[in-house]
Amino acid sequence: MRPVSSLVRALAITLCASASPANARDYGQHGAVWGIAEPDLLEQIHTRLLRLEASGETARLNAALQHRTEAKVQRPDPVPGLAAASVSRTWTFDPTITVSADIRDARGAVIIVRGTRVNPLDTVPLRSPLVFLDGDDPAALDWAATTFGKRRPKVILVSGAPLALMKARQMRFYFDQGGTLVRHFGIRAVPAVVEQKGRVLQITEQALKPAPARAS
């Protein structure tokens, strides 16, 4: 009796010998066949850019972008959600923070331990008041110049054209882009003033006009 491996080998040889070209069939062509013709994406983009440049569209788009950028610099987007102060109110703001991780110096030595309460005013005092204004309100601008002129305040606009005002009033103006500062201090109306009082900040929303009388 032959071993199993010998039988398998003999069977394989028999099958190979019996195979012939006559057993291969041509089933013909079924359906249309096209070659792969996928356009090159980069080439399409390049062609499109050349057409835009030739037509002058690229120059027009660049000019429009430059105009929008200059307009944003001249007049940034106003801070949303603020009103003109109709009632004066004052509150204090404690800037003290609790350090969440050890603070180390350049050599790796711990200089402030995690959990320490730190008041930034102890090392960096607020020497000049921060005055938040609507730059489109001439009365508020006049009030700030009269009230704080000699104290050299940092005037921070929440609306208006800071560059034009600098030229017209010969003083420096800042702009609270995105309303980061007014949100931090909780300011809801302007004019508003932030001043240091000891180890806290005093914030006042100053009404320049009396609140309208309510009908009884």
Task: Quick: pLDDT tens for 56-94.
Answer: 877 777 777 776 767 677 889 999 999 999 999 999 999
Q: What is the structure's pLDDT at 76?
A: 92
- The whole-chain average pLDDT of the chain stands at 83
SS3 helix, strand, coil % of the chain, rounded to 5? Answer: 40, 20, 40
Residue 210 pLDDT greater than 90, yes or no: no
Strand ranges, E, within 52-162: 83-84, 89-93, 97-98, 103-104, 110-112, 117-118, 130-134, 154-159
Q: What is the structure's pLDDT at 16?
A: 54
Residue 102 pLDDT greater than 80, yes or no: yes
- Distance, CA of 143 to CA of 120 (rounded, Å): 30
What pTM was computed for the model?
0.65
Residue 6 pLDDT greater than 90, yes or no: no
Task: Quick: pLDDT tens for 153-171.
Answer: 999 999 999 999 999 988 8
Residue 19 pLDDT greater than 60, yes or no: no
Taking residues 102-114, what's their average pLDDT? 90
Say what percent of the chain tops pLDDT 90: 51
Q: What is the structure's pLDDT at 96?
A: 94
**Which of these ranges, 62-71, 117-126, 185-194, has the smallest mean pLDDT?**
62-71
Reduced 3-state DSSP string for 133-152: EECCCHHHHHHHHHHHHHHC
Contact 183, 156 (CB under 8 A): no
Q: What is the structure's pLDDT at 47?
A: 82
| φ, ψ at 72 (rounded to 5°) | -70, -35
Task: Quick: pLDDT tens for 122-142.
Answer: 999 999 999 999 999 999 999
Band (pLDDT 50/70/90 cuts) for residue 10 is low
The one-letter code for the residue type at 61 is: L
Say what percent of the chain tops pLDDT 70: 77
